Amino acid sequence: MRYKNILFDLDGTLTDSSEGIIKCVLHTYEKMGVTPPAEELLTTFIGPPLSDSFARCGIKEENIREAIDIYRQRYNTVGKFENKPYPGIIELLQKLRNQGCKLYVATSKPEGPASEILDHFDMAKYFDEIAGATVSAKREKKEDVIQYLLDKISPADSDEGLAETVMIGDTSYDVIGASKFNIPCIAVTWGFGDLEDMKQNGAIAIVETMDELHNLITGT
């Protein structure tokens, strides 16, 4: 087995959350009376912390907290379930668990909704830990979430254990966050990130299928 500790991003990696997130973003701009971002920018809200995305897309700094609150009012009741697992991902998780891998989630989404989504799709049972952001934004960036997760699981408490750890994600946030801990990142093409950006930031590989991902994780 090449890697034994597998850290998965959630949005764009395990599930296609685009419908719910985009509807919540548009709802937020409508409620605030602000012109929404261009259509091609809407998917850039998937993955990064909300505060970064709203700041990048026209919300003034003093209004970002209000925007996040409006977004979450819809997301936490409706949007989180406007979502679906990617084809083949559940079978991949089953296979990796059966082969002795320990699976984890490291997401910039608040931990509560992340767990609820995975429970809703009967996926939570495959993960040893689900680590997410805090609603207060005290823990929000991907590197903060990974640090929180590593503190909980202490992968073998050794360099050898960390060497058997890999991040799976779909954006440069995953690649950069993992690199802070010298954890390699495999980028997937079915999400929402820029593949060239992920390459430039040090993704060790880019995979297009679940079989490719399985083979790279297991070294088969």
Token pair, residue 171, equals: 């954006």
CB distance 29 to 35 below 8 Å: yes
Q: 168 phi and psi, to 5 degrees?
A: -120, 120
Active site residue 122: no
Catalytic residue among 9, 11, 16, 174: 9
Residue 27 three-state SS: helix
Tracing tokens 């949007």 back to the chain, one arrives at: 79
Tokens of 162: 């960390």
Please, what is the Cα angle at 64 between 119 and 146, to 5 degrees? 45
Closest residue by Cα to residue 32 from 12, 62, 4, 59: 59
Q: Residue 31 corresponds to which tokens in the numbers above? A: 């409620």
Which residues are catalytically annotated? 9
